[in-house]
Amino acid sequence: MEILLFLMAVVPSAVLLWLFLSNDRYPEPAGALISTFLLGVLIVLGIYLLYPFLSLIASALPSDNPYLMGAGQAFLMAALPEECFKLIALRRYCVNHPAFDEPMDGIVYGVTVSLGFATAENLLYVLDGGLNVAVGRAFLAVPCHALVGAVMGYHVGLAAFSRGERAGRYLKALGLAVLFHGLYDFVPLTFRAADSMNVAVPGTVTVGLNVFFGVVMFVLIRYVAVLTRSMRTMQREDAPPSFGFSRVLPNRQRTLDPALKRSRFRRWLKACRDETGPMDLLFAALCLVGVFCALAGAAHLGNPGDPMSSISLAVAVIFFVYGLGFAARGMGKLTAGLLRNRDGK
């Protein structure tokens, strides 16, 4: 029975991964895909380390309103931390990998990291909940993770090969992924919250929530289909996969508008659009949030000798060190871009 549950937890992810990989005309190396998949698995550990802080969020949510409780759990406790970790994995590992040589790779690696997380999460739920949970998650939760990963990967792929406004594209990747993920989780978590509160959801509201859930899934599936077709049209049949794409900005003379020469603020804005420095600063801000989350979790546990408290303090130190590194590199990139714009190069 355990072997059957294991297969039902793993097979849906394998099928979906094969489906998306088969749409890529230029297959990715197995090593990069396996590493990305394992990074997705490690995200489960990251969520576990943030659990003390997430429990603080749960305690602050209204305990008498299942709709607000469901929305808070869906967006703040599930969608936001999970998608932030996925974006960090995509941005810091996948985009910098030599095999990431065309925009379509964003979808491939986005789905891979999402299915890595979904597989690890699925194993925890299925081995604990049994056959009914396995069937439900195989047809709903796992495909949703894959679709949301495709949405994030599409915009990450565009950002990696964009010649400007990369930070905005990365923010859009995160925002859309959190939005779709949160909307998907809202309905089941609302029903779960109502059940735990012993609150009866009216029949009309139940029907409305189920219809809303169906609409969210339909829109997500259609949106991913459109994005995938759009990426496939960018791939060339008779050319190497990197043909026509380049992440290296060419050395060219830039003609500055006179207004830009008179305004340092506008030159700084132009540097923000042209460079990836803002994304590093965003990661620095996320690391700072991680520091506060880990410290809050350690304080919530209250016992310095508790292993989870010690782990939370260690995580706070790691986030702080990485945050300093991201901040230094982001400011360096912005300063370099500002100097180039000032010199007209």
262 and 214 in a common domain? no
C-alpha to C-alpha distance for 282 and 342, rounded to whole angstroms: 24
Residue 242 lies in a domain: no
> Among 199, 234, 269, which residue terminates a domain?
234
- Let me know: does 153 contact 107? Beta carbons within 8 Å: yes
Residue 225 lies in a domain: yes
283 and 189 in a common domain? no
270 and 199 in a common domain? no
Residue 69 lies in a domain: yes
Residue 229 belongs to what H/E stretch?
helix 203-234
91-109 residue pLDDT tens: 888 998 888 988 889 999 9
> Tokens for 64?
């008498």
For residue 328, the tally of other CB atoms under 10 A from its CB is 12
227 and 100 in a common domain? yes
223 and 324 in a common domain? no
The residue ranking higher by pLDDT, 132 or 254, is 132
Q: How many domains does the chain have?
A: 2
Backbone dihedral region for residue 165 (phi beyond 0: left; psi -120 to 50: alpha; all else: beta)? left
Residue 293 lies in a domain: yes
Residue 252 lies in a domain: no
The residue ranking higher by pLDDT, 324 or 295, is 324
302 and 213 in a common domain? no
230-284 residue pLDDT tens: 888 876 544 444 433 444 433 333 333 444 444 545 544 454 444 455 656 666 6
> Tokens for 304?
């310095």
271 and 124 in a common domain? no
178 and 58 in a common domain? yes
| CB contact set of 226 (below 8 Å; sequence gap of 6+) | none
Whether the per-residue pLDDT at 79 is higher than 70: the answer is yes
Lowest mean pLDDT among 108-122, 123-137, 199-213, 231-245: 231-245
Instruction: Quote the pLDDT of residue 310.
Output: 63
98 and 39 in a common domain? yes
For residue 180, the enclosing domain spans: 2-234
224 and 81 in a common domain? yes
144-200 residue pLDDT tens: 999 999 999 999 999 988 776 778 889 999 999 999 999 999 999 999 989 888 888
139 and 18 in a common domain? yes
Residue 57 lies in a domain: yes
